[in-house]
Amino acid sequence: MELYFLGTGAGMPSKERNVTSVMLNLLAERNVYWMFDCGEGTQHQILRAPVKISKLEKLFITHLHGDHIYGLPGLMSSRSYQGGDTPFTIYGPVGIREFVETALRISDSHLGYQTKIVEFEEKAEFVLYEDEQFIVKAAPLVHRVDSYGYRIEEKPQKGKLDAAKLKELGIASGPLYGKIKKGEAVTLEDGTVLEASRFIGPPVPGRIATILGDTQPCEHAITLARQADVLVHEATFAEDRKELAMQYDHSTAIDAARTAQEAGAKMLVLTHISSRYQDAEVERLREEARTIHDETYLAHDHFRLDIPARKPSTAADEAAPL
C-alpha cells in the first residue's frame, strides 16, 4: 500500500500545486489503483506519474466542489482510450451521478468499459464497501456542502507458514504445505494429525488509511482516523487564518494535528494547501502541525508515502484495550 498525491492544492491550480487527487496504490494487493477525488487536470498529472490509468478500479469522491470533481469526465474518457476495459466504480455524495452522466451525454462520450455509480447521503458512519481484502467506511464531515471522509481497512492476513518446523518433522515441501497454509489439519501415513495452528504464525493486522474531504474539526474525523497508520487531512490555512478557516468550513494545520493526535493516528499528511502559501512560506504549516503531532508530512504534487505492513499480532496485543 502506497499513497501517491497527484494534486495537493485548494480551490484552484497554482504554479506549484494542482488541485486535489490522491491515489492509493494497491498493485501488490490486487493489481489496481483506487483514487480519491479528481480535480481539474488530474489526467495531466497522471502523465507525469508512475500510474497506469487503465488499472484504476475505484474512485471515491469526498464532495462535489469543483476542485475535487472537474477532472472526472476527462479521466473517464482517457481511461477508455488507454485500454481500460475492466469495470470502474465511482462512489460519492448524491449529485455525482447527475454530474457524470450529464458531462458524458453532452460531450457525446462513449466508454469502452462498464461504469457503476454509487451515491449516498448517510448522516452517520457506515460501511460503503467490503470484500475479502478490504472494508471501506465513510462518514459525514462538517463543510459548506455534504463532505465525507473514508477509512480504508485492510483485513488481517494469515500468519506465515513455519516451514522449518515442518522440515524438522521430516515433511518435505509439497501439497501438504499448501493444505496447512490454508488452515487445514493434515493426517500423515502413520496416523499423526498435524493441526495447522501449530505451524502458522500469528496473523498480521491489516493497515488502515484515512482520507478526509474538506472539513472543520469534528467527531467523525476522529472516529475515521482512530489508530490509523496514516491520516490524510486538509490544512488549507495556517493558524493565523483560523477565523477564515472557520468561516469557510476548513481546517488549519493545527486542527489537522489535533485530530491526528486525538485519534492516535501514526502518520499525518497535510494536503489541500491554499495558494497563498508558496515556496518557503508553506513550511509554516508543517512546523505548526509538528508542535502537536511529530510524524507529520507536508504533501506536494507527486509526493509518495509507503504505508508499512504491521507486525504480527501477539496474545498481549489481542488483550490490550484500544
Q: 37, 67, 255, 301: which one is catalytic?
A: 67
Question: Is the distance from CB of 268 to CB of 229 less than 8 angstroms?
Answer: no
250 is in an annotated binding site: no
Q: What is the pLDDT of residue 142?
A: 97
Distance of alpha carbon 288 from alpha carbon 259, whole angstroms: 14
- Is 68 annotated as contributing to ligand binding? yes
pLDDT attached to residue 321: 42
Q: What is the pTM of this model?
A: 0.88
Cα–Cα distance list, 143 to 28, 148, 305 (Å): 35, 9, 27
67 is catalytic: yes
pLDDT, one tens digit per residue, over 290-312 is 999 999 999 999 999 999 998 88
214 is in an annotated binding site: yes
Give me the pLDDT at residue 199, please: 78
Burial class (CB in 10 A: 0-12, 13-18, 19+), 117: middle
Could you tell me the pLDDT band of residue 151, with boundaries at 50, 70 and 90?
very high
- 3 state DSSP class of 221: helix
Query: What CATH superfamily is the domain 2-157+207-306?
Result: Ribonuclease Z/Hydroxyacylglutathione hydrolase-like (3.60.15.10)
Q: Is 220 annotated as a binding residue?
A: no
Task: Return d(Cα 39, Cα 248) in angstroms, integer.
Answer: 19
DSSP string, 180-209: HHTT--EE-TTS-EE-GGGTB-PPBPPPEE
**Nearest to residue 226, comparing CAs of 137, 158, 290, 130?**
137
Interval 59-83 mean pLDDT = 96
67 is in an annotated binding site: yes
Beta bridge mates, 306? 2
Residue 313: per-residue pLDDT: 67
The gap from C-alpha 262 to its chain's centroid, in whole angstroms, comes to 20
Average pLDDT over residues 281-288: 95
Q: In what order do the strands lie in the sheet with 32-36?
A: 115-120, 88-93, 56-60, 32-36, 21-26, 2-7, 303-306
Question: Is 249 annotated for ligand binding?
Answer: no
pLDDT tens-digit series, residues 160-210: 777 888 787 777 777 777 777 777 787 877 778 888 778 777 788 999 999
Q: Which of 8-22, 32-46, 88-102, 155-169 has the lowest mean pLDDT?
A: 155-169
Rounded Cα distance between 213 and 280, Å, is 25
Residues of the chain with CATH 3.60.15.10: 2-157+207-306
CA-based end-to-end distance of the chain: 24
Q: Which of 26-30, 137-141, 307-311 has the highest mean pLDDT?
A: 137-141
pLDDT of 320 strictly over 50? no
Average pLDDT along the chain: 92
Three cell numbers, residue 239: 493558524
Higher pLDDT pick, 60 / 181: 60
244 or 191, higher pLDDT: 244
- The CA distance from 304 to 6, in Å, is 9
Q: H helices then E strands: how many in the chain?
A: 12, 16
